[in-house]
Chain A
Amino acid sequence: MMEAQYRAPGSVDEAVALMAGAGGKGRVLAGGTDLLVQMRAGMVAPGLIVDVKRIAEMTAISQIAGAWRVGAAVTGAEIHDHAGLKKAWPGVVEAINLIGSKQVQGRASAGGNLCNASPAADSVPALVAAGAIATVQGPNGRREVPVEQIPAGPGKTSLKPGEIVVSFTLPARPAGSGDAYLRLIPRTEMDIAVVGCGVNLTMKDGTCTAARVALGAVAPTVLLVEGAAKALVGSKLDDKAIEAAAAACRAACKPIDDKRGTIVYRTKIAGVLLKRAVAIAAERARSN
């Protein structure tokens, strides 16, 4: 254990500079609901903590030409209270709001959820299904990365040293779109997903014209299940198409056995959650 320095810069440029100066010993702090827990448990010992909650760009929600931009450090509670975002992306909002409890919601961010890189992170399948793009800034400037490319394995991301996720962009939605996220945990709240499933659909005249499906907690990283999307697109979401999508989800699973769930169980449940999430997303698409 060592003493950590704490800085709370006011801009992304400053934060990136601080991270670069820390020579690999820097850690971004958003809500701290993962980081502080891990520090207490002795799992990580950063030399420098860079608190990003004072950076306006990272703590704001805005709309640009139909697309929503959500700062990576915006808390779950703020997202919960944002009527516009909730209307456009109810599945993403629900997923973020499932994290922890009321107290945790007051701190936790989607950026932290993604960068902590747990395979079971609840907001990530919903963001992946939404086709969210992360804006990342590092010593070499800014780049845009699809969210599914950020997790690299349990506790690992593809971010380069010193890179910070600044915000997420959720694309503009065609009419008839809806999304949903469901997870299974053994108790009613405050637990780690055994399986999570995000679905995002666009419907036109009863036919599915676009779909994205993502699964959490069934592989080392959140999975974008293209086979499931293919099975849905072009269909009227009939039983056969949905069963094919569920089968694709089951086939994509590469889970582990642990005390929260067995391989057999997780695989089977992935299909069940897919079906239920499709039903909710389709219902939302119809009323949008």
Chain B
Amino acid sequence: MMLREDRSPRRYEAALKVRGAARFTAEIPVASMLHAALVLSPLPSGRVGRIDAGEALALPGIVRVLTHAEMPRIDRPGVLIPLQGPDVHHAGQPVALVAATTPAAARRGAASVEVAYERRPAILNLADGEPFAPKTAGRTATDSRRGDPETALRQAEVAIGRRYTTATNNHHPMEPQCVTAQWDGERLTVLTTTQAVFAHRLAIAECFGLRPEDVRIVSHYLGGGFGAKGGAWFPHLVMAIAAARVLGRPLRLELTREQMFTLTGRRQETVQDLKLGATKDGRLTAIVHESLAPTSMFGEYADALATVTRVLHACPNVATRQRLARVNAPQPNPARAPGEGPGSFALESALDELAYELDLDPLELRLRNIAAHDQHVDLPWSSNGLRECYRAGAASFGWARRPMRPGSLREGHQAIGIGMAAACYPAYRMASEAAVGIGADGRVKVRCGTQDMGSGTYTVLAQLAAEALGMSYAEVDVELGDSLLPEGPYSGGSMATASFTPAVETAARDLRGRLLALASADAASPLAGIAPERMSIADGMIRSGNRSEPVSELVARRAPQGLEARAGAAPEARPDFSAFGFGAVFAEVRVDSDLGEVRVSRLTAAYAAGRILNPLLARSQFVGGLIWGVGMALHEATVMDPHLGRVVGTSLADYLIPVHADMPAFDIHMVEEDEPRLGSGGVKGIGMLGTVGTAAAIANAVFHATGRRVRDLPIRVEHLLRPD
């Protein structure tokens, strides 16, 4: 796809960020604020006894040491707000908060607090927990069933059953979580790194018994989030706000990188059993996908591991089942492509294994199983571009030249392998409002209380308004990241853009209509008396035939205070179709046969994900998603000490993510889709899709290179050593 300049303008906030003028949360000072540091439990299970803060309080700069004894009670079931009681449920749980005049003093104070613990038995490994059925899996039902998969498996001409595992991952956005809480009587201002200004406003108001309108949440710029700045951050946000109230002064809490391993959620590890049945000519007859994952002692969260299994491939008999077991570890929560990422690793690896059982090209196997409709909910697709993704991706990648036999391609020390996988992700949406206005200076303003994770929300909001109004992108200002604005969507589930797009477009069209009506009715306008339908706006000019007037002059004359239109949009309650984005990922890997070293050399991916608002930003989202897939496949693992229950190695020197030198050549294709039935203005959401299927494509390529089927992520060098 061509990256046309007009559809991919320069990022709205690029210059601000390059100059350092975009102020991130931790860079915004608040008068007379204190700094917090946390005292953390080294034990995974126990009860806090005596806390001796004497030495800490004697240090310079220390204002107060808060423990559960001093903190107000907050009633919020299902989440562990720290400092609410003496019980310790995981290593790294905060047990005291030190408030000081500088961050360094606070840290020093925290290191001097002595805490006595009563140790309690802990469950540290998933295998030791008691499996139970969670109420939901992500936004989906825990279990599902269609047809009779057990019988179909027994009767299948070909059947396989395999176990796959994936590791615990942490999100690790570049910017650590931070909050500065400021109370003014019963009013509260919270500057924080949040993916959800409105959801957090409501939840915080509930925690403190405030009216939502008395709580203001501000989050102007985010250095990533990936799920770690939503519900996972909330308990610590609330803790800091409560502490600020006790202290009677503004308080800032900024997490350290180390704390981001334990206090801001994690992608749960998984053990997944996949059984496939098929006919000899490669039609799926049965899928059974059963999985087990850990949750914390206090909360319940299950990634939607089976979403992809339920819908991606046509199959009459499908059963999926998810179980959780409680362990003394931090609370898991959604991380980019939650469930769909690890779940698709199991499904798409198993498909590859089946292809080899059948001696059938893995792409051909998938082509034979394209689902004509969504069999899970028994509804037609809004659209399904999977076949076109397969075609476009395979053609660009050169899939047709791939020999079937593993270990056929070599270059020096390196075995070369190529593999592929399919992907899908649901097109979610939520209610959103937005306002589009124009001032007497002719500048357009879009206001929407959503937030920009760094993915380009500012830019897209400006583009949408400019396009719908007929003004130029450079004339649009954007306000977001503030709960004083019209209520916008949260950034999660790849749904922010799909949610605000129809609201912004409706508001902009409404504003356009009002401007044209104004011109028509204004005797002083050159356009007076012309029917609005016969006028157009382009480049800031209203035109009809050879008559025209700049929009700014009309506004200055007729609405010197400016004009604003507000609109809301909400998803259909019961749509009569099923909407997903689809994709196909093709990977080439090089495996050093003597060292076991794996490098991904090429990734080609084709996506059909509805209307693409900005091809350049979309490409960045897909590349980002793919990099997460590379990380999941080859590097990322939060290692827990099986005896102590602590994270082993709490820095980015220990938690490996792909670095620049690990980046393959990316070849991204976007299949244009017309989606008139989607109320989102055709937008489907793209943030997660790149992470779905990618780990499987890489593992399948590793199999093709080496003949070794690695079913446990991340793939380690030891997995691939050639036997002597």
Same complex origin of A and B: yes
Smallest Cβ-Cβ distance to A190: which chain B residue: B659
Question: Are B648 and A259 touching (Cβ within 8 A)?
Answer: yes
Instruction: Please give, as numbers and ranges, the residues of chain A lying within 8 Å of B114 by CB-CB distance.
Output: none
Complex: A22 Cα to B108 Cα, angstroms? 23
Question: Are B659 and A188 touching (Cβ within 8 A)?
Answer: yes
The answer to whether A186 and B649 touch (CB under 8 A), given A191-B656, A265-B718, A272-B595, is: no
> A258-269 interface mask toward B, CB cutoff 8 Å, 1 = contact, 0 = none?
010110110011
Say yes or no for A42: interface residue by CB 8 A criterion.
yes
Say yes or no for B599: interface residue by CB 8 A criterion.
yes
Complex: A261 Cα to B719 Cα, angstroms? 11
Question: Are B595 and A184 touching (Cβ within 8 A)?
Answer: yes
Question: Are A187 and B659 touching (Cβ within 8 A)?
Answer: yes
Question: Are B111 and A1 touching (Cβ within 8 A)?
Answer: yes
> B635-664 interface mask toward A, CB cutoff 8 Å, 1 = contact, 0 = none?
101010000000011010110101111100
The answer to whether A187 and B635 touch (CB under 8 A), given A259-B649, A269-B595, is: yes
Say yes or no for A194: interface residue by CB 8 A criterion.
yes
Instruction: Please give, as numbers and ranges, the residues of chain A lying within 8 Å of B717 by CB-CB distance.
Output: 184, 186, 194, 261, 265
Contact of B599 among A188, A264, A265 (CB under 8 A): A188
- Which residues 465-483 of B have a CB within 8 angstroms of A? none
Say yes or no for B107: interface residue by CB 8 A criterion.
yes
Instruction: Please give, as numbers and ranges, the residues of chain A lying within 8 Å of B718 by CB-CB distance.
Output: 261-262, 264-265
Complex: A262 Cα to B721 Cα, angstroms? 12
Instruction: Please give, as numbers and ranges, the residues of chain B lying within 8 Å of A259 by CB-CB distance.
Output: 637, 639, 648-649, 654
Complex: A209 Cα to B187 Cα, angstroms? 82
Say yes or no for B249: interface residue by CB 8 A criterion.
no
> A1-28 interface mask toward B, CB cutoff 8 Å, 1 = contact, 0 = none?
1000000000000000000000000000
In the assembled complex, the CB of A280 is this many whole angstroms from the nearest CB of chain B, namely: 13
Say yes or no for A192: interface residue by CB 8 A criterion.
yes
Instruction: Please give, as numbers and ranges, the residues of chain A lying within 8 Å of B634 by CB-CB distance.
Output: 186-187
Contact of A189 among B597, B635, B661 (CB under 8 A): B661
Most buried by B among A41, A186, A192, A261: A186
Instruction: Please give, as numbers and ranges, the residues of chain B lying within 8 Å of A261 by CB-CB distance.
Output: 717-718
Most buried by A among B596, B651, B654: B596
Given A1-B108, A259-B649, A259-B654, 5 other A-B contacts at CB below 8 A?
A41-B651, A187-B656, A187-B662, A192-B653, A265-B717
Complex: A259 Cα to B634 Cα, angstroms? 13
Instruction: Please give, as numbers and ranges, the residues of chain A lying within 8 Å of B639 by CB-CB distance.
Output: 259
The answer to whether A186 and B659 touch (CB under 8 A), given A42-B111, A272-B594, is: no
Question: Are B659 and A189 touching (Cβ within 8 A)?
Answer: yes
Give the 3 A-B CB pairs with smallest separation, nearest first: A188-B661, A189-B661, A272-B594
Complex: A272 Cα to B597 Cα, angstroms? 12
- Which residues 148-206 of B have a CB within 8 angstroms of A? none
Report 24 cross-chain contacts, Cβ distance below 8 Å, ordered by A residue.
A1-B111, A42-B111, A184-B717, A186-B634, A186-B635, A187-B635, A187-B656, A187-B659, A187-B661, A187-B662, A188-B599, A188-B662, A190-B659, A191-B656, A194-B717, A261-B717, A261-B718, A262-B718, A265-B717, A265-B718, A265-B721, A269-B595, A272-B594, A272-B595
In the assembled complex, the CB of A7 is this many whole angstroms from the nearest CB of chain B, namely: 21
Instruction: Please give, as numbers and ranges, the residues of chain B lying within 8 Å of A192 by CB-CB distance.
Output: 653
Instruction: Please give, as numbers and ranges, the residues of chain A lying within 8 Å of B635 by CB-CB distance.
Output: 186-187
In the assembled complex, the CB of B255 is this many whole angstroms from the nearest CB of chain A, namely: 15
The answer to whether A187 and B658 touch (CB under 8 A), given A259-B648, A261-B717, A264-B718, is: yes
- A residues near B (Cβ < 8 Å) are 1, 41-42, 184, 186-192, 194, 259, 261-262, 264-265, 268-269, 272
Instruction: Please give, as numbers and ranges, the residues of chain A lying within 8 Å of B658 by CB-CB distance.
Output: 187
- Which residues 92-147 of B have a CB within 8 angstroms of A? 107-108, 111
Complex: A1 Cα to B111 Cα, angstroms? 8
In the assembled complex, the CB of B602 is this many whole angstroms from the nearest CB of chain A, namely: 15
Complex: A264 Cα to B717 Cα, angstroms? 11
Instruction: Please give, as numbers and ranges, the residues of chain A lying within 8 Å of B637 by CB-CB distance.
Output: 259
Say yes or no for B64: interface residue by CB 8 A criterion.
no
In the assembled complex, the CB of B413 is this many whole angstroms from the nearest CB of chain A, namely: 8
Question: Are A186 and B111 touching (Cβ within 8 A)?
Answer: no
Instruction: Please give, as numbers and ranges, the residues of chain B lying within 8 Å of A189 by CB-CB distance.
Output: 659-662
Say yes or no for B716: interface residue by CB 8 A criterion.
yes
Smallest Cβ-Cβ distance to B648: which chain A residue: A259
Complex: A259 Cα to B168 Cα, angstroms? 14
Complex: A188 Cα to B656 Cα, angstroms? 11
Complex: A41 Cα to B639 Cα, angstroms? 19
Instruction: Please give, as numbers and ranges, the residues of chain B lying within 8 Å of A265 by CB-CB distance.
Output: 596, 717-718, 721
Instruction: Please give, as numbers and ranges, the residues of chain B lying within 8 Å of A190 by CB-CB distance.
Output: 659, 661
Complex: A186 Cα to B661 Cα, angstroms? 12
In the assembled complex, the CB of B35 is this many whole angstroms from the nearest CB of chain A, namely: 15
Complex: A44 Cα to B478 Cα, angstroms? 47
In the assembled complex, the CB of A268 is this many whole angstroms from the nearest CB of chain B, namely: 6
Complex: A272 Cα to B653 Cα, angstroms? 25
> B289-319 interface mask toward A, CB cutoff 8 Å, 1 = contact, 0 = none?
0000000000000000000000000000000
Most buried by B among A184, A187, A189, A265: A187
Instruction: Please give, as numbers and ranges, the residues of chain A lying within 8 Å of B594 by CB-CB distance.
Output: 272
Question: Are A186 and B656 touching (Cβ within 8 A)?
Answer: yes
Instruction: Please give, as numbers and ranges, the residues of chain B lying within 8 Å of A41 by CB-CB distance.
Output: 651
Instruction: Please give, as numbers and ranges, the residues of chain A lying within 8 Å of B107 by CB-CB distance.
Output: 1
Instruction: Please give, as numbers and ranges, the residues of chain B lying within 8 Å of A269 by CB-CB distance.
Output: 595
Instruction: Please give, as numbers and ranges, the residues of chain B lying within 8 Å of A186 by CB-CB distance.
Output: 597, 634-635, 656, 716-717
Complex: A81 Cα to B607 Cα, angstroms? 45
Complex: A189 Cα to B656 Cα, angstroms? 11
Complex: A186 Cα to B659 Cα, angstroms? 11
Smallest Cβ-Cβ distance to A188: which chain B residue: B661
Instruction: Please give, as numbers and ranges, the residues of chain B lying within 8 Å of A268 by CB-CB distance.
Output: 721
Complex: A192 Cα to B662 Cα, angstroms? 15
